[in-house]
Amino acid sequence: MSVTIGAAREILRGNDRGGYTVPTAALYPYQWNWDSAFVAMGWITFDEPRAWRELERLLEGQWADGMVPHIVFHAPADTYFPGPDVWRTGHSVPTSGITQPAVLATSVRRCLDAATDRAGAEARAAAIYPRLVAYHRWWAAARDPGGTGLVGMLHPWESGMDNSPAWDVPFARVSPTPTTPIRRKDTGHVDAGMRPTDDFYRRVIALIDLYASLGWDPSRMWAETPFKVADVALNAILHRAERDLLALAQRFGDPAERGEIADRLHRSRAAIGGLWRASDGIFQPVDLSTGERIPVATSAGFLPLYAGIGDGTVASALAATLHRWKALAPYGVPSTAPDHPGFEPKRYWRGPVWAIVNWMIADGFAAAGETGAANAIRDDTATLVRRHGFAEYFDPTTGDGLGGGSFTWTAAIALAWNLLEE
Ligand code: DGY
pLDDT digits (tens, 9 = 90+) for 183-220: 999 999 999 999 999 999 999 999 999 999 999 999 99
> Angle CA(160)–CA(356)–CA(346) in degrees, nearest 5?
70
Beta strands in 163-260 (DSSP E): 229-230
User: In this predicted structure, what is the pLDDT of residue 179?
Assistant: 83
Q: Is 211 helix (H, G, I), strand (E, B) or coil?
A: helix
The whole-angstrom distance between residue 342's C-alpha and the CA centroid of its chain comes to 21
Coil, strand or helix at 353: strand
pLDDT of amino acid 177: 83
Query: Is the minimum distance from the CB of 189 to ligand 1 under 6 angstroms?
Result: no
Low-confidence ranges of the chain (pLDDT < 50): none
Looking at residue 2, its pLDDT comes to 84
Give residue 81 CA to ligand 1 midpoint distance, Å.
Answer: 9
Q: How far apart are CA 63 and CA 89, in angstroms?
A: 10
Establish whether 47 is a catalytic residue: no
Q: Is 70 in the pocket of ligand 1 (CB under 6 A)?
A: yes
**CA 30 / ligand 1 centre spacing (Å):** 11
Q: Is 155 in the pocket of ligand 1 (CB under 6 A)?
A: no
Total residues belonging to the chain: 422
Q: How far is the centre of ligand 1, averaged over its atoms, from the C-alpha of 161 (Å)?
A: 9
Q: What is the pLDDT of residue 1?
A: 63
Range list of H helices, 165-224: 168-171, 186-189, 198-213, 218-224
CB distance 157 to ligand 1 below 6 Å: yes
Residue 368 pLDDT: 98
